[in-house]
Amino acid sequence: MSRFAGTGTLFYKEILRFWKVGFQTVAAPVLTAVLYLVIFGHVLSNRVQVFEGVGYTSFLVPGLVMMSVLQNAFANSSSSLIQSKITGNLVFLLVTPLTHWAWYAAYVGASMLRGLMVGLGVFAVTVWFAPFQMAQPLWALAFALLGAALLGSLGLIAGLWAEKFDQLAAFQNFVIVPMTFLSGVFYSVHSLPDTWRAVSHLNPFFYMIDGFRRGFFGASDVSPWTSLAVVGTSFAVVAALTLRLLRSGYKLRS
């Protein structure tokens, strides 16, 4: 028996689960992001100048890519867990020898993969709408991976906490969506009044988007090192909390 075979199987099962409904889990989010680009890009392209020499549509592309990564990473772990809880088939996993580390690695790993697949899909389609540049790709990669891991972990927490779909939808619509929309996907926080700019700096999603965008344009609202520190710390805190909840059997084992 391989020590990691169980973790690998759960990871594989989680991938198979979203891949079997790929239209819903991968294709639909790509289409949504493209619609955002077409509509906002068309309406605002001649009115908004964010960075020197960067058109609004070009500015929008990385924000939409990162927003898709984050939202889909969250959706994957949270929806998988709550579906299994509500239909009762989580029992198949609860009776196995898998540790809380294995659960975490498999659920978050699959969430990251789905987030990154959707992000790549959005990128592959939207890149044709605006001139492409990738000034510092390692920053983009680092923030995509860290952001997906952070949201995959948050999705696990939401899936553990929620006892019905309505609660999960509330978490998604009242926490995740506002935080991503108000993080500078569609604008630079420098264009905001001082108060709202200060509020934006309290939102960890802002640092994920800003750091990711740095990889494209080599320019950002704050230093990428500051963003890395904020996102890295947020991830460490959320990951530690998720592992603790899994280990304690929170809402899993009575």
Partner 1 sequence: MPAVRFDRVTKTYAGGGVRALDGVSFDIERGEFFGLLGPNGAGKTTLISVLAGLTRASSGRVAVMGHDVVDDFAAARLALGIVPQELVFDPFFSVREALRIQSGYFGVRGDKKANDAWIDELLANLGLADKADANLRQLSGGMKRRVLVAQALVHRPPVIVLDEPTAGVDVELRQTLWHFIARLNRSGHTVLLTTHYLEEAEALCGRIAMLKQGRVVALDRTSALLSGMASTMLRFKTDQPLPPAVVPLARVTGRIVQLKAHDAAEVERLLAALRQAEVRVEDLEIGRADLEDVFLETMGSER
**Of 7-15, 166-174, 199-207, 215-223, which part binds partner 1 (CB under 8 A)?**
7-15
The amino acid sitting at 44 is: L
User: By CB under 8 A, which span of 2-10, 36-44, 133-141, 186-194 interacts with partner 1?
Assistant: 2-10
Residue 195 sits in the site that holds partner 1 (CB under 8 A)? no
Is residue 232 within the footprint of partner 1 (CB under 8 A)? no
Residue 87 binds partner 1 (CB under 8 A): yes
- Identity of the residue, 9 or 49, whose beta carbon is nearer to partner 1 in the bound complex: 9
The reply on whether position 95 binds partner 1 by CB under 8 A is yes
Instruction: Evaluate the CA torsion angle 46, 47, 49, 50 in order and state its sign.
Output: negative
Contact 115, 76 (CB under 8 A): yes
Among 35, 173, 249, 250, the residue binding partner 1 under the rule CB under 8 A is 249
Which parts of 149-168 interact with partner 1 (CB under 8 A)?
none
Name which position in 22, 31, 43, 92 contacts partner 1 (CB under 8 A): 92
Tell which one of 52, 128, 193, 254 touches partner 1 (CB under 8 A): 254
Question: CB 234 → partner 1: shortest distance, Å?
Answer: 31
- The sign of the torsion formed by the CA atoms of 113, 165, 242, 106 equals negative
Exposed/middle/buried for residue 116 (C-beta within 10 Å: 0-12, 13-18, 19+): buried
Residues that bind partner 1 (CB under 8 A): 1-3, 5-6, 8-10, 12-13, 16-17, 20-21, 84, 87-89, 91-99, 249, 253-254
